[in-house]
């Protein structure tokens, strides 16, 4: 067993390499996934990473757990016994870091499904899901704004997943869920409003803003489901998001 690496990005790659050798479907999400997709990182959008997050298809949690066991991680036995069908928690005993494994979907303020979106050998969840997992947080924090800006800095919005942000996928999910639509559109607007917080060249800031606007336009143009329209009548009079439990 190789020791867990001190550099968190290199360590994430080590786990992915091991998953590839074992044939385990395991994909990064979170800030490190954003970083792996960035061919360049403007200094104002750079940040440190403290935890590693993975996604696996439904029913693949045990295989992911076995892999992490073999790589030197300690399972949080009580948490995994209670939450293991949806989420697993592992701890890095050498560096005090946490590894989360989301099984079948990402569930925090909203649920982002992974059905049919994860395949063996891919390093990260698709860019559309990266955007959704960043922007589904009702109380958006600065690191998520920064990560979102970096995603849109380096990737155009299109209708496919080939190193592009699949706007049609995001629009489809938002069109079926008013609550998700409410949070995602609000946070896209917030990201546009906060671009001036970063020392970006004018052309770069404009490109990011235009791409955020492109995605907003696609979401708004998508025909909404009957359930979306019924929930829209209630609006914000009823809470439209979950309150995720904090994991110590």
Residue in the structure block whose two tokens are 């750079």: 46
The fraction of the chain above a pLDDT of 70, given in percent, is: 98
H or E element at residue 101: strand 97-103
Q: What is the mean pLDDT of residues 218-236?
A: 98
CB atoms closer than 10 angstroms to residue 187 = 22
Residue 112: φ, ψ to 5°: -110, 110
pLDDT in tens, 30-70: 999 999 999 999 999 999 999 999 999 999 999 999 999 99
pLDDT in tens, 79-128: 999 999 999 999 999 999 999 999 999 999 999 999 999 999 999 999 99
Give the 3-state secondary structure of residue 16: helix
Cβ atoms of residues 56 and 102 within 8 Å: yes
Q: What is the mean pLDDT of residues 125-151?
A: 97
The fraction of the chain above a pLDDT of 90, given in percent, is: 96
- What are 139's two structure tokens? 């109380």
Cross-strand bridge partners of residue 111:
107
Query: 209 pLDDT exceeds 60?
Result: yes
Query: 17 pLDDT exceeds 60?
Result: yes
Cross-strand bridge partners of residue 157:
165
- What are 223's two structure tokens? 């025909």
CA angle 97, 127, 225 (to 5 degrees): 115
| Domains delineated in the chain | 1-124 (3.30.460.40), 126-234 (no CATH)
Q: What is the mean pLDDT of residues 214-240?
A: 98
pLDDT in tens, 152-170: 999 999 999 999 999 999 9
Q: What is the mean pLDDT of residues 202-220?
A: 98
Cβ atoms of residues 159 and 171 within 8 Å: no
- What are 170's two structure tokens? 């995001």
Query: What separation in angstroms does the CA of 201 have from each of 67, 193, 207, 212?
Result: 43, 16, 10, 17
Cross-strand bridge partners of residue 88:
101
């Amino acid at each position: 067993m190789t020791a867990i690496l001190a550099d968190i990005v290199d360590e994430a790659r080590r786990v992915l390499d091991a998953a590839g050798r074992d044939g385990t479907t395991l994909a990064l999400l979170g800030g490190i996934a954003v970083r792996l997709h960035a061919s360049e990182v403007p200094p104002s959008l750079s940040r440190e990473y403290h935890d590693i997050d993975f996604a696996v298809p439904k029913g693949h949690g045990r295989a992911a757990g076995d892999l992490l066991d073999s790589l030197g991680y300690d399972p949080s036995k009580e948490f995994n016994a209670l939450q293991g069908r949806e989420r697993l928690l592992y701890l890095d005993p050498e560096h005090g870091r946490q590894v989360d494994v989301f099984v079948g979907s990402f569930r925090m303020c909203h649920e982002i499904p992974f059905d049919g979106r994860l395949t063996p050998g891919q390093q990260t969840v698709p860019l559309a899901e990266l955007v959704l997992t960043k922007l589904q947080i009702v109380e958006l924090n600065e690191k998520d704004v920064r990560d979102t800006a970096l995603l849109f800095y380096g990737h155009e919005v299109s209708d496919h997943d080939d190193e592009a942000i699949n706007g049609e996928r995001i629009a489809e999910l938002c069109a079926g869920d008013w609550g998700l639509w409410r949070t995602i559109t609000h946070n896209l607007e917030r990201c546009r409003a906060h671009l001036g917080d970063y020392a970006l060249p004018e052309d770069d800031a404009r490109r990011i803003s235009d791409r955020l606007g492109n995605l907003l336009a696609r979401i708004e143009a998508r025909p909404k489901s009957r359930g979306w329209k019924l929930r829209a009548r209630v609006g914000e009079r009823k809470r439209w998001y979950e309150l995720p439990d904090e994991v110590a």
